[in-house]
C-alpha cells in the first residue's frame, strides 16, 4: 500500500517525479477538454474533518479531471457531529470501496493512524493534519517556485522548461510568520531541504516551535534583515492561525498592529527585495495582518497561480498513487 503522509517520506527522486508529473498534467489542462480517462472506475473520498476551501476543491477537481468518482465528506452535517469516530467513519468509506482517502483532520497523526489501521485499504493522502504536515501544499509551493525560478533563465516569467527534472539547489526561501502552528512550514522545510534549497524561518520568538534547532532551516527574528541581506528568491508568508491560539492572539504577540509592523509584508518591504523574488501564501490570507493588500495583489505575488498549480500537483499525486504501478512514490507500510 502506498500513501502520501509527510514530505519527510519523499526523497529527491520521488519529489522530482511528482513535480515533473505535475508539469505533464498541467500541460493537459490547457486543452479544451481537460478530462483524462486515467482513473475511470476508481473512487476518491475527500474526508475533511477540518474546514477547507482551496485544498478540498483542488483535490475534488484533480480527481474529477482524472475521471475518478469523488465522494465528498465533511464532518459538519455528517454523523461525526453525533460523535462518530474516525474508525467508524473510515469503515463506512471502506464499505463504499474507496481507492484513495484524502484526509484533513485537526489531530496531528490522524492520516498516519488511518493509513496503518487497516480500516481502509485505499491509499491515504494527508491533506493537512493539525500542526503537523500538509505535503501536497509543499509540493505545489515547490512546483510554483521551480516554474518561476528554475530553468527560465532568471526573471519571474513562466516560459522556458520550468525546471523539468531539476531541483531547487541554490535558491533561498524565507518562510515568514506563524511557524508554530503551521503544517505548511513543517512540510515546506523538509521538502525544500530535500530539493536543495536553503530555508530561513522568520517569526517572533513566541511563534517559533520548541526544538526548531533540529529543523533543516535557519531561524531569524528580524524580517527586514532577512529580506535585505538574505536576498531570498522566494518569500512565503504564513497565515496567523488565530483559531489555534487559545486567547485570540493575546499570548503570542502584543497586538495585530505590532505583528504587522514586525512581520507583515507590505509595499516597503517588497521594494527591498531583489527584482526576481516571488511572494507566496498558502491562503487563506489575513489581508492587513501578515500581508498588505498591495503586496498580495502585486505582480510578484504568485498566490492565485499556487491555487491553479495545486490541481496539477494533486492530479500527479493521485495518478502516481493509484495508476502508476511502476512508480516509487514512497511506499509507506508494506
Burial of 77 (0-12, 13-18, 19+ CB in 10 A): exposed
Considering only CA atoms, which of 331, 291, 323, 249 is closest in space to residue 36? 323
Nearer to ligand NCD, 230 or 289 (CB): 289
Active-site residue, selected from the candidate residues 54, 276, 287, 330: 54
Could you confirm whether 76 is annotated as catalytic?
no
Q: How far is CA 108 from CA 103, 176, 207, 210, in A?
A: 11, 22, 18, 16
* Binding characters for ligand NCD, 188-227, by CB under 6 A (x = yes): ----------------------------------------
Q: How far does CA 219 lie from the centroid of its chain?
A: 21
Q: What angle do CA 104, 69, 318 make, to 5 degrees?
A: 55
Q: Give the CB-nearest residue to ligand NCD.
A: 239
Residues 31-70 that bind ligand NCD (CB under 6 A): 54-55
314 annotated active-site? no
Contact 93, 74 (CB under 8 A): no
Q: How far is the CB of 282 from ligand NCD (least distance, A)?
A: 4
Under the binding rule (CB under 6 A), the answer on residue 239 touching ligand NCD is: yes
Taking the complex as a whole, the smallest distance from the CB of residue 184 to ligand NCD amounts, in Å, to 5
**Nearer of residues 42 and 281 to ligand NCD, judged by Cβ:** 281
Closest listed residue to residue 10, CA positions, set 281, 238, 324, 320: 320
Q: Which three cell numbers stand for residue 133?
A: 504536515
Q: Which is nearer to ligand NCD, 197 or 307 (CB)?
A: 307
Q: Does 264 bind ligand NCD (CB under 6 A)?
A: no
Hey, CA dihedral for 216, 102, 60, 163, is it positive or negative?
Answer: positive
Chain positions 97 to 136 lying near ligand NCD, rule: CB under 6 A, are 128, 134
Least separation, in Å, of the C-beta of 134 and ligand NCD?
5
Cα–Cα distances (Å) from 135 to 16, 172, 213, 253, 310, in that order, read: 14, 20, 21, 28, 11
- Please identify, using beta-carbon distances, which residue of 240 and 320 lies nearer to ligand NCD: 240
Q: Is residue 12 among the annotated active site residues?
A: no
User: Which one of 132, 183, 186, 314 is in contact with ligand NCD (CB under 6 A)?
Assistant: 183
CB closer to ligand NCD out of 134 and 172: 134
**Count of residues in contact with ligand NCD, rule CB under 6 A:** 11
Query: Applying CB under 6 A, does 2 fall inside the site for ligand NCD?
Result: no
Which residue among 104, 132, 146, 314 is the active-site one?
104
Q: Give the active site residue among 2, 112, 134, 186.
A: 134
Using CB under 6 A as the binding rule, whether residue 282 contacts ligand NCD is answered as yes
Active site residue 194: no
Using CB under 6 A as the binding rule, whether residue 283 contacts ligand NCD is answered as yes
Q: Which is nearer to ligand NCD, 8 or 283 (CB)?
A: 283
- Check 31, 82, 247, 326 and give the catalytic one: 82
Could you give the count of Cα atoms lying within 13 Å of 201 in the half-sphere of its Cβ? 27
| Smallest separation (angstroms) from ligand NCD to the CB of 128 | 5
**Is it true that the peptide bond before 10 is cis, omega within 30 degrees of 0?**
no
Contact, 69 vs 42, CB < 8 A? yes
Contact set for ligand NCD, span 69-88 (CB under 6 A):
none
Per-residue exposure over 299-319, b if at least 16 CB sit within 10 Å of its own CB, e if not: ebbbbebbbebbbbbbbbbbb
Alpha helices in the chain (DSSP H): 12-28, 54-65, 86-95, 110-117, 135-149, 183-194, 223-229, 256-263, 267-271, 293-296, 303-322
Among this protein's residues, is 112 annotated catalytic? no
Under 8 Å between Cβ of 277 and 234: yes
Positions that interact with ligand NCD (CB under 6 A): 54-55, 128, 134, 137, 183-184, 239, 241, 282-283
Q: Which residues are catalytic?
A: 54-55, 82, 104, 134
Amino acid at each position: 500500500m502506498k500513501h502520501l503522509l509527510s514530505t519527510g517520506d519523499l526523497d529527491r527522486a520521488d519529489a522530482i517525479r511528482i513535480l515533473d508529473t505535475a508539469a505533464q498534467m498541467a500541460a493537459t489542462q490547457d486543452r479544451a477538454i481537460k478530462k483524462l480517462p486515467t482513473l475511470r472506475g476508481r473512487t476518491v473520498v475527500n474526508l475533511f474533518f477540518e474546514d477547507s476551501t482551496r485544498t478540498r476543491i483542488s483535490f475534488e477537481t484533480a480527481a474529477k479531471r482524472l475521471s475518478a468518482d469523488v465522494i465528498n465528506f465533511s464532518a459538519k452535517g455528517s454523523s461525526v457531529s453525533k460523535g462518530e469516530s474516525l474508525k467508524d467513519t473510515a469503515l463506512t468509506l471502506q464499505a463504499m470501496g474507496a481507492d484513495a482517502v484524502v484526509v484533513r483532520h485537526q489531530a496531528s497523526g490522524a492520516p498516519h493512524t488511518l493509513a496503518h489501521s487497516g480500516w481502509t485499504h485505499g491509499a491515504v493522502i494527508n491533506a493537512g493534519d493539525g500542526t503537523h504536515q500538509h505535503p501536497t501544499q509543499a509540493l505545489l509551493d515547490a512546483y510554483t517556485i521551480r516554474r518561476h525560478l528554475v530553468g527560465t533563465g532568471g526573471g519571474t516569467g513562466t516560459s522556458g522548461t520550468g525546471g523539468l527534472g531539476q531541483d531547487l539547489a541554490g535558491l533561498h526561501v524565507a518562510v515568514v510568520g506563524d511557524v508554530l502552528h503551521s503544517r505548511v512550514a513543517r512540510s515546506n522545510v523538509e521538502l525544500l531541504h530535500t530539493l536543495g534549497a536553503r530555508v530561513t524561518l522568520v517569526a517572533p520568538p513566541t511563534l517559533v516551535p520548541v526544538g526548531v534547532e533540529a529543523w533543516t532551516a535557519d531561524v531569524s527574528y528580524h524580517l527586514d534583515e532577512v529580506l535585505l541581506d538574505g536576498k531570498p528568491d522566494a518569500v512565503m508568508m504564513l497565515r496567523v492561525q488565530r483559531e489555534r491560539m487559545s486567547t485570540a492572539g493575546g499570548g503570542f504577540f502584543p497586538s495585530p498592529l505590532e505583528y504587522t509592523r514586525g512581520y507583515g509584508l507590505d509595499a516597503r518591504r517588497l521594494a527591498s527585495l531583489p527584482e526576481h523574488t516571488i511572494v507566496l501564501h498558502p491562503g487563506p490570507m489575513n489581508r492587513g495582518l501578515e500581508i498588505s493588500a498591495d503586496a498580495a495583489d502585486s505582480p510578484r505575488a504568485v498566490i492565485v497561480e499556487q491555487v491553479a498549480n495545486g490541481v496539477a500537483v494533486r492530479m500527479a499525486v493521485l495518478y502516481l498513487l493509484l495508476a502508476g504501478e511502476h512508480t516509487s512514490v514512497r511506499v509507506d507500510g508494506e
